[in-house]
Amino acid sequence: MPKFSVILAAAGKSTRFRDPNYKKPFALLNRKAVWLYSAELFLKRNDVKQVIIVISPEDKDEFLGKYGPNLAVLGVEVVLGGAERSDSVQNALAKVDSDSTHVVIHDAARPCLNADLIESVFQSSKTNPAVIPAVPVTSTLKLSKNGSAVDKTVDRSHLYEAQTPQVFERELLISMFANRGELKPTDESQLAEELGYPIAIVKGSVFNIKITSKQDLAFARACLESQPKPKFDAPIHPFADDNLFR
């Protein structure tokens, strides 16, 4: 039976989020931090043996001060990230349990993940060494080299928007990072692609949005309201209300 270790990527700078109090994975969504939504879903699965969240070193004291007791109750491990996303994931990969067969990387800023999508990606990983969810691009795409004038319309017929969670066989992911050299991929599937590994696609969800701007929080609330509410027995934070992270 596959055993999964999950890495939640939350070490970005959140420059486009523009909130003086929060980075996007720690922003409040219905009075709960964004990162907790996906963490809860993964922790409910019996085949998930480990959850690691990667945070920026500059966030360490505040994050642990807010969520230290919560992390202990849930068994979520904290790893400090690096300068680039790939550095952060590689730091977390070094902490993955050796008995895990697969590693899952998920953007902590994607709170509207649902159990069905997780199941779909996990099932596909049993027969594919690398799997990502993706949705077809539906908008008309324009290429503009200077950002102020259209150069041409791009054919969207074979274009897909990649999402997370992305699942890789653990040994494959270790090999990928050992051979990444100077590559700075924006996600792990790009690294697999650059190194020549096949990547399977499963149907993603239009609701599985990534929080980028503060306006995205309103859309995320609507997405969450449209989904069945997950049940979770453990307290989200045993000692403090989420608004204390300001």
In this predicted structure, the answer to whether residue 53 has a pLDDT above a threshold of 60 is: yes
Decide if 151 is inside a domain.
no
In a domain, residue 204? The reply is: no
Q: Would the pLDDT of 10 be above 70?
A: yes
Average pLDDT over residues 51-76: 92
Q: Please check whether residue 220 lies inside any domain of the structure.
A: yes
pLDDT of residue 244: 43
Residue 119: is its pLDDT beyond 70?
Answer: yes
Cα 141 from Cα 97, distance rounded (Å): 42
pLDDT at 67: 86
Indicate if the pLDDT at residue 235 is higher than 70: no
Interatomic CA distance for residues 164 and 117, integer angstroms = 10
0.85 exceeded by pTM: yes
CATH number of the domain at 19, please.
3.90.550.10
Residue 218 placed within a domain: yes
- Predicted confidence at residue 190, as pLDDT, reads 97
Q: Is residue 214 part of a domain?
A: yes
pLDDT at 189: 97
Asked whether residue 43 is assigned to any structural domain, the reply reads yes
For residue 13, is pLDDT > 80? Answer: no
158-to-70, 138, 191 alpha-carbon distances in Å: 43, 10, 20
pLDDT 10s digits, 23-42 = 678 888 998 999 999 999 99
Domain count, the chain: 1
pLDDT at 225: 87
Structural domain containing residue 42: 4-130+163-196+209-245
Q: What is the pLDDT of residues 191-217, one digit of tens each?
A: 999 999 999 999 999 999 999 888 889
Per-residue pLDDT, 227: 76
Which pLDDT belongs to residue 167? 98
Q: Strand 77-80 vs strand 102-107: parallel, antiparallel, or unpaired?
A: unpaired
Cα(30)–Cα(39) distance, rounded to whole angstroms? 16
- pLDDT single digits (tens) 143-200: 999 999 999 999 999 999 999 999 999 999 999 999 999 999 999 999 999 999 999 9
What is d(CA 44, CA 118) in angstroms, rounded to the nearest whole number? Answer: 11
Q: Is residue 149 one of the residues assigned to a domain?
A: no
Question: Per-residue pLDDT for 234 more than 60?
Answer: no
Q: Evaluate whether residue 123 is within a structural domain.
A: yes
CA-CA distance, 141 to 181, in Å (whole number)?
32
Find out whether 148 and 125 touch, Cβ atoms under 8 Å: no
Mean pLDDT of the residues in the chain:
90
